[in-house]
Amino acid sequence: MTEATGNDRIWRLLVVDDEAIVGKRLQQVFGKMGFVVESHTSPAVALEAMAAQPFDIVVTDLKMEDIDGIEVLSRAKTINPAAQVIIITGYAHSETENEAFAKGVFAFIAKPFRLDELKQVINRALDELRQQAVVPSAE
């Protein structure tokens, strides 16, 4: 299992889900893997957190009040184009999935999902970020 530490880099992961239990559980699991994890039930608050300090990986629910996962995806990519965004949803429809991929989503996962499945996707996203990090950045 890939760890979220190494290369003198701390990887930041954001969970956006209007069900607090989902965020709490994912925060525990990915915190143990070495990520710095924030979880928000309000997409608006999550977007404020992103603007204050961008996240490397964003896991967002699709259907939420006021701001949906597609909008979270769009804004996350605007704030940090390298961000890997993963949408989790109980409302998986091909049109929505196609729209998400057109806007740059890394993965689209239907609920209920197995935690191991999400871990694998996040590890792939982390590997992708590490490959991008090999290119010198202008930080």
Assigned domain for 5 exists: no
Q: Give the three-class secondary structure for 59.
A: strand
The model scores a pTM over 0.85: yes
Assigned domain for 6 exists: no
- Structural domain including 109 reads 12-131
Specify the number of domains making up the chain: 1
Assigned domain for 1 exists: no
Assigned domain for 139 exists: no
CATH of residue 26's domain is 3.40.50.2300
Assigned domain for 62 exists: yes
Assigned domain for 109 exists: yes
Assigned domain for 33 exists: yes
Q: Return per-residue pLDDT of the chain as tens, 139 residues.
A: 455 655 568 899 999 999 999 999 999 999 999 999 999 999 999 999 999 998 999 999 999 988 999 999 999 999 999 999 999 998 878 888 999 999 999 999 998 889 999 999 999 999 999 998 765 545 4
In whole angstroms, give the CA distance from residue 21 to residue 27: 10
Side-chain half-sphere exposure of 31, counting CA atoms within 13 A: 10
34 near 79, Cβ under 8 Å?
no
CA dihedral 79, 137, 83, 122 (to 10 degrees): -160
